[in-house]
Structure 1
Amino acid sequence: MVKKFEESFRSFKSLKHKIPGAGAIVMVILALWVLSGIFIVAPDEMGVVKRFGKMVRTAQPGPHWHIPFPVESALKPKVTKVHRVEVGFRTVDSGSPARYREVPAEALMLTGDANIVALEFIVQYRIQDPVSYLFNIRDQEKTIKDAAEAAIREVVGKNKIDEVLTEGKFQIQQDTMTLLQGILDRYEVGIMVDAVQLQDVLPPEPVIAAFKDVASAKEDKEKIENQSMGYRNDILPKAKGMAQQIINEAQAYREAKINEAKGDASRFLQVLAEYKKAKDVTRTRIYLETLEEILPRMEKVLLDQNVSERVLPYLPLERLMEKGGQEKAKP
């Protein structure tokens, strides 16, 4: 081995004498090799230097140098950038309008009440520990996607389909993010999950029409309930007001009758007291007062006593009967 190296060195020396400027060329190549170790870390990056594949140090934003290839190399993951993982779909063209491709194998999930739902979502994350991110797992994006899919399947499996399709979406996002962060922390992936955002949450295509009918029925039910509540809120105050009015009128009638009865009783007691004092006078007065009240309403004929002795008394019963019948016919 040593002999071969000495022979190579002697051949290089002989080549140096044979080729003019060979030393300068070697120096330029060496300089370029040394300069190839310069690297610049951008403000949104962090440098990680590897020596023969093993991490030896990290580098902050700015210019740095490492021993050139093949001894050392530098990786520069973006630690402030928000990365994105799509689950259940893939973006084919991000132009306007964007085009997507569905991935049913990832999107179809089973809910807690044994219904199938097609759920598409994205995971947004940032690299928190570049060393763990680069060296603890091999395929970072696939690992995050698989963990996110497992987390949301567990969360959806604990909820009913109505909650998944309607008002439970926000809670599902929060629960999935918490569960996913716990899984990735156990894997020591070195990332921070910023958000889990549901995109499309739909029942499977063959039963979409049936689910729309159910949703329409629920909307009609809520509409009818709201209308009935509105009618209830309108009619109840009116009914309560009318009831209170009737109660007030009844109380007023009661008070009036009580006061009237008390007045009649008091007047009777006063008359009784006067009657006890002078019975004849009081009897005559009551008689006259009664006649004053009755006689104005009656048809009457006054005859002198002398004349009345020569007149035949006549009582017109037929006229009285006709008059009584007319009075009964009046409402």
Structure 2
Amino acid sequence: MAWNEPGGNGKNHDPWSGGGDRNPGGGKRNGGGNNDQGPPDLDEALQKLQDRLNGLFGGKKGGSGSGSGGGAGGKGGSFTLVGIAAVLALVVWAGMGFYTVDQQERGVVLRLGKFHSVVNPGLQWNPPLIDEVNKVNVTRVRIHDHRALMLTEDENIVDVDISVQYVAENPELFMLRVRSPEESLAQAAESALRQVVGGSDMNSILTEGRQVMAISVQERLQRHMDTYETGIRISGVNVRNAQAPSQVQDAFDDVIKAREDEQRSKNEAEAYANSVVPEARGVAQRMLEEASAYREEVVARANGETQRFLALLTEYRQSPDVMRERLYIDTMQSVMTNNPKVLMDMENGGNNVMFLPLDKLMDQQRGSGSSARGSSSSADLNLRQLNDQITEQARSRQAGSLREGR
């Protein structure tokens, strides 16, 4: 029976009375003037929290009867669990958005599949399930090797093996512009290499032209990468090997060996020339200097003789007899100084100076050896005859001088 029906005990059934019944809010009211101030009821606190959550999610507060009140309480508990689960899910979702980017990396952020931004190294946060972050290493040097048979300008076939070093300089272009940057790089490398090899002869490719070829391939390949917008920067191209096909490798080895022998012979000839030519130039310079010195000496001697002759001529003009005698004495002195002499005392009180090369005769006698010993007597005879002749000449000269004196 409802509390407000006729005949009912309204006092006992009035839910707003202090008879101990629970009010629609779930709390107890102290009736009969009992003012008990005990601790708050746990059910009351939970009911308040439920009412707030129901207000947030559009629920109703409390019920109109005992049956409806119990149903509202069960429904409020389910809303409480849903709210707590939602809060936990929100916390987990927010925590999933934190990530770190290394110093060598850059993060490419895609929001709902569309490019949004590029994030720098450090701790970052993006909405999970909404943003997708792709990390790209922008400092690591990647290597691509390529080898192929190619036709040269002089219609020869050469086997070239190169190594391409590159880095992902622009992470946005590297991730989004091309589907496969490595494949694009491989095709562009082959194209650039064929262009360079096709414009070079085989001799330069196999010998000294490798460095020039590597630089040309790097420049062409970088232009291709910029045109394709791959975000790749070519850091270097190395020609690891360049050789003729294996079928004709032996013949090319012989040719290369012959060229090396030719170059070695040229180097040896240049070294010999460098050692001989300076020596010959030194000898020629010495001869020129000696000739110059001899010329100066002869000219100086001739000038001295001329001056001496002029001086003697002046003196001769002043006293011819004295100068004639002096010149004779000087001449005889210069002649007899360098020749062997024999002094002979002449008979009849006269003396004269005669010279005879007896030492040369004695040397000839010693050099004749044993044959000279057998003919010693004949040599002595000849020597005596020669002395007699000299004596006769001296006597005749003395007699002539006496006659002139008379």
Question: TM class, shorter-chain normalised?
Answer: 0.5 to 0.7
Q: Partner of 1:46: helix, strand, or coil?
A: strand
Where do 5+ consecutive residues of structure 1 fail to align? 1-22, 89-106, 308-321, 327-331
What is the letter of the counterpart of residue 108 of structure 2? G
Q: Partner of 1:240: helix, strand, or coil?
A: helix
Structure-1 residue corresponding to 2:403: none
1:195 to partner: Cα distance: 2.0
Structure-2 residue corresponding to 1:46: 107
Where do 5+ consecutive residues of structure 2 fail to align? 1-80, 351-359, 365-406
1:242 to partner: Cα distance: 1.8
C-alpha contact 1:46 1:79 (8 A) present in aligned 2? no
User: Cα–Cα, structure 1 residues 285 and 222, in superposed 2: closer, same or farther, change >3 Å?
Assistant: same
1:196 to partner: Cα distance: 1.9
1:230 to partner: Cα distance: 2.3
Q: Partner of 1:77: helix, strand, or coil?
A: strand
| Percent identity between the two aligned chains | 32
Match 2:158 to one of 98, 112, 117: 117
What is the letter of the counterpart of residue 55 of structure 1? F
User: Cα–Cα, structure 1 residues 275 and 155, in superposed 2: closer, same or farther, change >3 Å?
Assistant: same
Q: Partner of 1:149: helix, strand, or coil?
A: helix
C-alpha contact 1:132 1:189 (8 A) present in aligned 2? yes
C-alpha distance in 1 between matches for 2:114 and 2:166:
26
TM-score (norm 2): 0.55
Structure-1 residue corresponding to 2:205: 164
Structure-1 residue corresponding to 2:313: 272
User: Cα–Cα, structure 1 residues 285 and 184, in superposed 2: closer, same or farther, change >3 Å?
Assistant: closer
User: Cα–Cα, structure 1 residues 180 and 279, in superposed 2: closer, same or farther, change >3 Å?
Assistant: same
Structure-1 residue corresponding to 2:140: 81
Larger-gyration structure (1/2): 2
1:241 equivalent to 2:282? Answer: yes
Q: Deviations over 1:179-202 (max 9, x none)?
A: 111111111222222222222222
User: Cα–Cα, structure 1 residues 302 and 182, in superposed 2: closer, same or farther, change >3 Å?
Assistant: same
Structural mapping, 1:30-179, within 5 Å: 31=89, 38=97, 40=99, 42-43=101-102, 44-49=105-110, 51=112, 53-61=113-121, 62-66=123-127, 68=129, 73-88=132-147, 107-179=148-220
C-alpha distance in 2 between matches for 1:225 and 1:34:
80
1:161 to partner: Cα distance: 2.7
Structure-2 residue corresponding to 1:227: 268
C-alpha contact 2:107 2:133 (8 A) present in aligned 1? no
User: Cα–Cα, structure 1 residues 181 and 288, in superposed 2: closer, same or farther, change >3 Å?
Assistant: closer
User: Cα–Cα, structure 1 residues 36 and 124, in superposed 2: closer, same or farther, change >3 Å?
Assistant: farther
User: Cα–Cα, structure 1 residues 297 and 146, in superposed 2: closer, same or farther, change >3 Å?
Assistant: same
Q: Partner of 2:136: helix, strand, or coil?
A: coil
Structure of greater relative contact order (alpha carbons < 8 Å, 6+ residues apart): 1
What is the letter of the counterpart of residue 301 of structure 2? E
User: Cα–Cα, structure 1 residues 140 and 264, in superposed 2: closer, same or farther, change >3 Å?
Assistant: closer
Matched length: 269
Q: Deviations over 1:294-323 (max 9, x none)?
A: 56756686644699xxxxxxxxxxxxxx97
Q: After alignment, is 149-158 or 274-283 more displaced? A: 274-283
TM-score (norm 1): 0.66
* Aligned-residue CA RMSD (Å): 3.8
Q: Partner of 1:138: helix, strand, or coil?
A: coil
C-alpha distance in 2 between matches for 1:245 and 1:128:
69
C-alpha distance in 1 between matches for 2:100 and 2:311:
118
C-alpha contact 1:45 1:80 (8 A) present in aligned 2? no
User: Cα–Cα, structure 1 residues 156 and 298, in superposed 2: closer, same or farther, change >3 Å?
Assistant: same
Q: After alignment, is 258-267 or 55-64 more displaced? A: 55-64
1:74 to partner: Cα distance: 4.5
C-alpha distance in 2 between matches for 1:167 and 1:158:
15
Q: Partner of 1:159: helix, strand, or coil?
A: coil
